[in-house]
A and B are shown apart, each in its own frame.
Chain A
Amino acid sequence: MNHDRLRLDLAGLAEEVSPVDLRDRALRTSRRLGLQRAIATSAAAVVMLCAATGTAFALVPRNDGLAPVPADTPSVTVPASPSGEPAPSPSAGSSPTATPSNSVAPSDRPTLVLGPDGLGALKLGMSKKEAVATGMISNFGNLDQQAFPACPARAEVTGDGAVVLWSTRLGVATIEAPTGVKTAEGIGVGSSRASVRQAYPSWRGIDGTPPHDEGRGLVPVPGNPDARYRIVVQNGKVQSITLQFARQDCYE
């Protein structure tokens, strides 16, 4: 292949992008990243204080810095870590590999639903060990510290490649929908922008900006005030949908 020609064509293609001023958006995102870190630190301090003084649990202001949803629940911010419960064991129904493959439908996991608190047996807040015990994930990898300072590891939903991220603070912090899996409201990869708007009227840009028609957005998760769906729309269709803690500290 003629690489000079490839260079030329790449350069030509790159010129298609429209220049925009990202200064304000970058600063907003930076502030939110800083806020998340500050909250993590102060929550830890509160816990230590409680432990030290034996005082009752103090209410941490619920401020996740995300605009889309009013902070309407006083429920507190400590992630639901199912520490008291035994890790769910893989069951025939929840393990992708054990699903009977008697259909040639696009989805080989017709029964899985994303949300409100996880993907089948795999739940937000699980430790890595608990998540592994579900038998649903594989392909573990480490993430670059610079880009993901608070989230050291990733894995994939077995047989699909949908991504699961761990946060040091929160445990399983994000779970992406595998191909063919939809939310309870019927939204999955490939859903149209119109159906997203219908299912989640409050869908907005990632930093609380008014409705994006394209790109990344967040919506509340019906039935779980601590979670959000992150929905990426490209060319009018859902490119990915991820269930994540409202206070996830992995990206954005």
Chain B
Amino acid sequence: MDPLLSEFDSFVRTRTPALLRSAYLLTGDQHLAEDLVQSALARTHRSWSRLHDSGNAEAYTRKTMYHLQVSWWRRRRVAESMPGDLPEPRGGDSAPDHAHQATLRLTLRAALAKLSAKQRAVLVLRFFEDRTEAEAADLLGVTVGTVKSQTSKALAKLRAVAPELAELYVLEGSAR
């Protein structure tokens, strides 16, 4: 077998699960996540001969993925397309039992769907991938200032569209 192809195969098989997790948070949908990762991997493959020994292949794939998702999608698309209704908040009882966790996840999912693609991307980069502001800016091809402003807009929007979520986050935060 072509050694380059077998290296690429191994890259794909080891990195796809992690790429899919990020793509799922970016898109909120299994199929769209698969399509996004597939597109990014295809571009990675086109450049594989120069990427394979650079140690930077994953950075290239991720950068491509974020650009594909953010840079040309229309701004309102995500919000328009998602099932918009937030689950009913469960009043009073804030015990983190299993069902409650599941409800919270649904709430977060629906709330993320209300964000723009860019806001969503900065949240995923900063709070899921734990990137610094500078790293996030580089991956998105924007300035650090944009990352900061989009992050605070994204958090504000989360608070606005899912107050029960924000309350919980704040309460638990202050209880520490």
Binding site for B on A (CB under 8 A): 1-7, 9-23, 25-30, 33-34, 141, 143-144, 146-148, 154, 156, 160-163, 165, 176, 179, 189, 206, 212, 214-216, 232, 234-235, 237, 239-240, 251-252
Contact = CB atoms under 8 A, between A and B. Distances in A.
A228 to B, nearest CB: 16
A33 B46 contact: yes
A235 to B, nearest CB: 6
Contact of A22 (B34, B83, B159): B34
A17 B67 CA distance: 21
A16 B25 CA distance: 10
Interface string B154-176: 01001100000010111011001
B13 A144 contact: no
Given A5-B168, A22-B41, A26-B12, A239 B159 contact: no
A234 B105 contact: no
Interface of B: 9, 12-13, 16-17, 20-25, 29-35, 37-39, 41-46, 60, 63-64, 67-68, 71-77, 80-83, 101, 104-105, 108-109, 112, 123-124, 127-128, 130, 141, 155, 158-159, 166, 168-170, 172-173, 176
B31 A234 contact: yes
A156 B39 CA distance: 23
Q: Which of A14, A34, A165 is the most central at the interface, judged by chain B CB atoms within 10 Å of its CB?
A: A14
Given A23-B13, A148-B67, A1 B159 contact: yes
Given A22-B37, A251-B39, A17 B77 contact: no
Contacts of A12: 101, 105
Instruction: Give the secondary structure class of B's interface.
Output: helix
Instruction: Give the secondary structure class of A's interface.
Output: mixed
Contacts of B105: 9, 12-13, 16
A240 B77 contact: yes
B36 to A, nearest CB: 10
Given A10-B128, A13-B105, A165-B72, A179 B45 contact: no
Contact of B16 (A7, A19, A161, A232): A19
Contact of B80 (A10, A23, A189): A189
A156 B72 CA distance: 9
B129 to A, nearest CB: 9
B74 A163 contact: yes
B13 to A, nearest CB: 7
B172 A5 contact: yes
B127 A7 contact: yes
Contact of A30 (B23, B33, B46): B46
A21 B173 contact: no
Contact of B76 (A5, A9, A161): A161
A5 B87 CA distance: 19
Contacts of B22: 14
A39 to B, nearest CB: 15
A133 to B, nearest CB: 22
Q: Which of A9, A160, A176 is the most central at the interface, judged by chain B CB atoms within 10 Å of its CB?
A: A9
A240 B63 CA distance: 24
A11 B104 CA distance: 13
Given A25-B34, A237-B81, 18 more contacts: A1-B169, A7-B127, A10-B108, A10-B124, A10-B128, A16-B24, A17-B24, A17-B33, A20-B16, A26-B42, A27-B45, A148-B72, A162-B74, A165-B72, A176-B74, A214-B29, A235-B82, A239-B80
A147 B67 contact: yes
Contacts of B9: 23
A135 B52 CA distance: 46
A25 B31 CA distance: 13
A17 B170 contact: no
10 contacts: A27-B42, A30-B41, A30-B42, A33-B42, A33-B43, A34-B46, A148-B67, A165-B72, A206-B35, A240-B81
